[in-house]
Structure 1
Amino acid sequence: MAHLQFVDELVREYLLFRGFTSTVKAFESDLKSDKDKGFRVDKIVDQVLHFINVSDLNGLKEYWTHLDNLVFAKLEVHVQPGVRKIEYSLYKLYLVIAAQSTGGVRNEKVAEFFAKMLPELQGQSEWRDWYMLPYITKPEENPSFSLYFTRGWQDSVIVSLHNLLATVFQCMPQPTLTSYESDAALVKRLQEEISSLKGKSQPANDKVSPSGHQSRLAQYSERLSGPLPLIDDFSAIPAEHLDCGLREAKGLRGLLRQMGGSPVMNRKAGRSQSQN
């Protein structure tokens, strides 16, 4: 969602044009404290790792709760166990980083973690062995914990979090304003296509005629300029653009399968509501 930064600039420019200076100040203040980091996956992952590296359990829990309420809670039910697995893996990474420190302060953080998280984790079989962690001198050599102290496991947790966020953000329904740039680019491509086809003779049933492209371009332009919100109607878009989109969708589905689920939001209900 890198284009969101461009949209932010458009909003700021419009507010200044209208003379809404107090609104601009409030808008810029919100941007500075933006927990979503403009939906930039790398920035969000960095923020999560910061809380882990400094042993800030409260910060980690509050930030994850924010992401949960904003995004994860809206995912389909069958995906929720996978999200919880990544959340608990982050907590285990938190304990590993704290246990690796030679300072007494960090070791106290391990005990503090279990004191605060006991009501939430109590009774879960996967955490049974972890309650011994504060009392083990060299947990990295213990068969129950040695895997979690390897670089491979730690990197896999970070990659899983990155893939989860990237996939979810791609599937999130976006406001109409953020789609205008891509819509304008599509119209421009269609116009260039029409120009390249002008003056060229084509077999009757080989390719769509320039007039056919013009008709589709006119239909799509009406959708962009009309008062109604854009809907998922691809009748005005050439087949080659749909083929490209299908290839991208297949690649996304492959990523979802790697995550053990399909964290796709229930956008059908959203579409039916917008059409009504």
Structure 2
Amino acid sequence: MAHIQFVDELVREYLLYRGFTSTLKSFDNDLKADKDKGFRVDKIIEQILHFINVSDLNGLKEYWSHLDNFVFSKLEIHFQPAIRKMEYSLYKLYLVTAVQGNGGVKNERVTEFLSKMLPELQGQNEWKEWFMLPYIQKPEENLSFSLYFTRSWQDSVLVSLHNLLATVFQCMPQPTLTSYESDAAMVKRLQDELATLRLQSKMQPQAPEKTSPIGHQSRLAQYSERLSGPLPLVDDFCAVPSEHLESGAREAKGLRGLIRQMGGSPVMGRKTSRSQSQN
């Protein structure tokens, strides 16, 4: 979601332009403390790995709880099993990393984890064997745990986490401000296509007019009504031959609808916010 960083810069530029220095300072402070890392997947994984590598269970749980409350909670219910499975895989990676640590601290960290997580995990079948982990001398050689100590499993957890976050961020509802760039690009594309259509109509040989001026004006009137837009927008299509009217109408209607939506959004107006507040 690289466009998030771009929008952040636009907000900073606007605040600076307006002279809202205190607001800009608060905004910069919030960006520095942003737990979502600007929705950059690599930065989020880096933060999670930091908690795992230093055996910071509280930090890991609090960070995942933040993602759960402010990111995952916005998703549809069918995403939840995959999210819970990913959370438990990270807990297992936490234990494996703690066991592989140097010194006698490893058993202390493992015991601390199992003690704190007992109320949450004790009723789940997949965690029953893990409560024996502190008492196994070489868990990497044990049939129940050997898989989790392989590099391939640990890498697969990180790849799955990356794919999950990337998918989640794409499926999340986006604020209007973050979609303005794609909307503007669509408007530009439609304008270019309409300009090309007008140019092609001028280059084509004009067939003798078989209909009366009254009939032609009638078609234009119907065309104008379908567009439901101001006269300048209709006038752009006055030079389009009759065989292009239907396709041009669909393009222009889509363009008009997009412009109306942008005009009622927080980017270019206040119509949306007022209507929502009335509701």
Range into which the TM-score falls when normalised by the shorter chain: 0.7 to 0.9
Where 2:199 maps in the other structure, the secondary structure is coil
1: CA distance, partners of 2:277 / 2:79: 25
| Residue identity in the other structure for 2:49 | L
Paired residues of 2:75 and 2:172 also in contact (CA < 8 A)? no
- TM superposition shift of 1:206: 8.2
- TM superposition shift of 1:77: 3.1
Q: Can you list the C-alpha shifts for 1:28-66, whole angstroms capped at 9, x where unaligned?
A: 000000000001111111111111111111110010010
- TM superposition shift of 1:171: 1.2
2: CA distance, partners of 1:108 / 1:170: 40
The Cα RMSD (Å) is: 2.5
Match of 1:243 in 2: none
Q: How many residues align?
A: 234
Match of 1:36 in 2: 36
| Residue identity in the other structure for 2:123 | G
Q: Aligned pair in 2 of structure 1 residues 219, 119: CA closer, same or farther (>3 Å)?
A: closer
Match of 2:237 in 1: none
Q: Aligned pair in 2 of structure 1 residues 204, 154: CA closer, same or farther (>3 Å)?
A: farther
Match of 2:190 in 1: 190
Paired residues of 1:101 and 1:107 also in contact (CA < 8 A)? no
What pairs up with 1:209-224 in 2 under 5 angstroms? 209-210=247-248, 213-224=251-262
Aligned-residue sequence identity (percent) comes to 71
1: CA distance, partners of 2:19 / 2:54: 43
1: CA distance, partners of 2:103 / 2:77: 42
Match of 2:4 in 1: 4
What pairs up with 1:61-210 in 2 under 5 angstroms? 61-201=61-201, 209-210=247-248
Q: Aligned pair in 2 of structure 1 residues 190, 66: CA closer, same or farther (>3 Å)?
A: same
Structure 2, gaps ≥5 residues long: 205-240, 265-269
Q: Aligned pair in 2 of structure 1 residues 220, 106: CA closer, same or farther (>3 Å)?
A: same
Match of 2:236 in 1: none
2: CA distance, partners of 1:87 / 1:61: 9
Paired residues of 1:4 and 1:38 also in contact (CA < 8 A)? yes
- TM superposition shift of 1:182: 0.8
Paired residues of 2:75 and 2:171 also in contact (CA < 8 A)? no
1: CA distance, partners of 2:140 / 2:38: 37
| Residue identity in the other structure for 2:200 | K
Where 1:198 maps in the other structure, the secondary structure is helix
Paired residues of 1:55 and 1:106 also in contact (CA < 8 A)? no
| Residue identity in the other structure for 1:27 | F
